[in-house]
Each structure stands twice: as C-alpha cells, then as structure tokens.
Amino acid sequence: MKKTTTYAAGILEAYEYLLSNHKEFFIIGQGLWSPWYVGATMTDLDKKYGKDRVIDCPISELATTGATVGASICGYKPMIVHPRVDFMLLAVDQIVTQAAKWRHMFGGNSSAPATFRAIINRGGEQGAQHSQSLHSWFAHIPGLKVVMPYTAKDARDLMISSVLSNDPVLFIDDRWLYEKEEDYTEIELIDLKDVKPRKLRNGNDVTVVGLSYTSFLCEKACQSIEISHKITSDFFDIRVLNPLKIDEILDSVQKTGRLLVVDGDWKSCGMASEIITSVLEKIDIKSLKNSPKRITLPDSPAPTSKVLEEQYYIKVSDITDALVQITN
C-alpha cells in the first residue's frame, strides 16, 4: 500500500527534522505546550524535544517576535509561531522594520534570519479578526521572504528551507489545507533562493495561477473544466510570493494567451494584481487572446454568519465560471 501524508503531518515532520538535525533551531509561541491552536502540526514536540527548545510564552506578540529576531541575530535559527495572522499584526515592527531591514541597513554586516510562522484560519464563523491573510502586505517588503505552501510536500520542505535560509522568512500556512492528503515523498532539501512556482498541470488554453489554499481550488477547477468543457490549463502554484519569480509563467502566458490569477485575499494592491502586472510588463501584449482576470475576496471584512461566509469565500465554481468566460 502506498504511504500517504497530509499537509499538517508534513509540517510536523519538518519540525521533527529540524529539531533532530539543527541544534540552532528552536520554536517559541503562544500555546506550544498545549498546541491545540495549531491543529496537528506541533503535537508532542515539547515532550519529545524539551520545553527549552519548544517554548510556550507570555501573551506578548511584539516582544516574543522581537526576541526571535534577537536570537536569530546571535546565530540561532529560531521560529516564532503566531497561531493566527491577525495576532501577528501586533508584531509588525519587528518583522517589517527590524528583521527585514537588518541586513541591508548594516551593509550586510549582520542579519536576522528568523522565521515567522503565521496560520490563516478562514471560515468557521470566526469573523473579521480571526481570519485575515494579508500576505500581499508582507510580500511588499524588500528583505522579507514570503512563503505559502499548498502541497503537503511543500509544507514540509519549504518550512525546512525557510528555517535554514539566511534571510528572515514569513511562512504562512492555511488550516483549510491541513487534512489535504497526498503520496508521501522523502524530504528534499532545497535552498529557498532556488524555489520557483511549481507547475502542477499542463494545458494549452489558459494559464491559471494560485497560491496556498486557492491552489487547491484551482486544481479542482482545472480538473473539472477539462472534463466538462475540454479546456486545458497550465496551472502554477506560486509557493514563494517574495521575491516573486515569474519566468515560467511568462512563457506559459505567451503560449496560452490567457491568464487567470486566484488569490484568497482582497483585491486592492494584492498579489493577484502584482502577478498580472509583472506578466503584462514583460510579455508581448499581442500574444494575449483575452484580458487577464483575477478572482479575489470581496472588498469586505470576513463575516461571521455562515450564509454570508458562503458568499464571501472563493469557491471552485467561481473559478470554473471564470475559466469558461476567459476562454470564450
């Protein structure tokens, strides 16, 4: 029987690998000694590796993030875990103004290679302050790498790459992916600088780009539209939002003449606009057969009522509808 794994198990495996093989790695965050905030991604790490390397901490997002930055400046490869993106916003100074700039403003004579892990908790009637993603805010910042895995393999391998990177990294995982199952593969060590968008489907009619949870939706939509409408897609999962690499996507759009980007965050100044603009700047506009399209969240904070949630979050049918439209 084939061995399988899940996204959450991938993250847990990354932690076990890092704690076993890298003594300079440690984790700090709220709730780590009873990690029910983080699904099955950190179960029993404190018991296996000790409370001095898996550190539960006071309710002080800014100071604990700053302490992570400080330890990273002193030779450690630490990670702070923020069980929700929303709470991490209390620590933005340390992420954006300290860690991201530390190497540059000291002329390369110092660096702050901390990893900030933040988790997106969509849905569940959690409302406006327990569900934000905001990855495009952070992808705006030079010096801060932003990683958002979609596959279980990437959740594991890119977490290892993020921690071992010599730059500060924001690693954002999505709870809606935790149960996603796939075939198990061995750990692949890869330098974060070499990570490019991963092509997960080959086709000729349209180029589709997703990231994190929207890659899950895109993959389903591409499958279903191929069966129902014989529309074939080149589908890419972005993986690293900053620095953004689009060379393969450019080649694909030149070929298909159509581009659809699906981003599970708000539209204005978002990742979808960044990807579309980066492509449009570099391709021959005459190769386009239709205007590029983006699917994003509506311009509203997340609602709590489940009826409105149903309307708020992107569905596979939104993507299949857009695929039919763009290929018409």
Q: Kindly list the residues in this chain that would bind another protein in the complex (CB under 8 A).
A: 26, 52, 57-58, 60, 62-76, 78, 93-94, 97-98, 102-111, 113, 142-143, 145, 165-167, 191, 193, 243
Between 142 and 284, whose beta carbon lies closer to another protein?
142
Residue 328 CB, nearest approach to another protein (Å): 42
The smaller minimum CB distance to another protein, of residues 113 and 264, is found at: 113
188-203 in b/e form (b: 16+ CB < 10 A) is eeeebeebebbebbeb
Whole-number minimum distance, CB 160 to another protein, in Å? 16
Q: Which is nearer to another protein, 52 or 284 (CB)?
A: 52
Helical axes 213-229 vs 316-327, angle rounded to 10°: 50
Give the residue with the Cβ less far from another protein, 189 or 307.
Answer: 189
State how far the Cα of 37 lies from the Cα of 121, in Å rounded to an integer.
10
Which residues 6+ apart lie within 8 Å of 307 measured at CB? none
Compare residues 101 and 199 and give the one whose CB is closer to another protein: 101
Using alpha carbons only, how large is the chain's radius of gyration in Å?
Answer: 20
- Three-state DSSP at 210 gives strand
| Rounded (10°) angle between helices 271-282 and 247-256 | 70
Dist CA 177 CA 198 (whole Å): 17
Nearer to another protein, 28 or 225 (CB): 28
SS3 68: helix
- Pull the structure tokens for residue 298: 């509506």
User: Which residue lies nearer to another protein by CB, 167 or 174?
Assistant: 167
Side by side, the strands of the sheet bearing 79-82 are 54-56, 27-29, 79-82, 115-120, 169-174, 145-147, 240-242
Instruction: Work out how close the CB of 55 gets to another protein at its nearest, in angstroms, rounded to a whole number.
Output: 8
Q: How far is the CB of 62 from another protein (least distance, A)?
A: 5
We find the least distance from the C-beta atom of residue 227 to another protein, in angstroms, to be: 43
Q: Residue 25 in contact with residue 78, Cβ under 8 Å?
A: yes
Nearer to another protein, 44 or 191 (CB): 191
CB 41 within 8 A of CB 178: yes
CB of 94 to another protein, least distance (A): 7
What's the closest the beta carbon of residue 166 comes to another protein, in angstroms?
4
CB of 138 to another protein, least distance (A): 15
Q: Which ranges constitute the DSSP H helices of 283-315?
A: 306-312
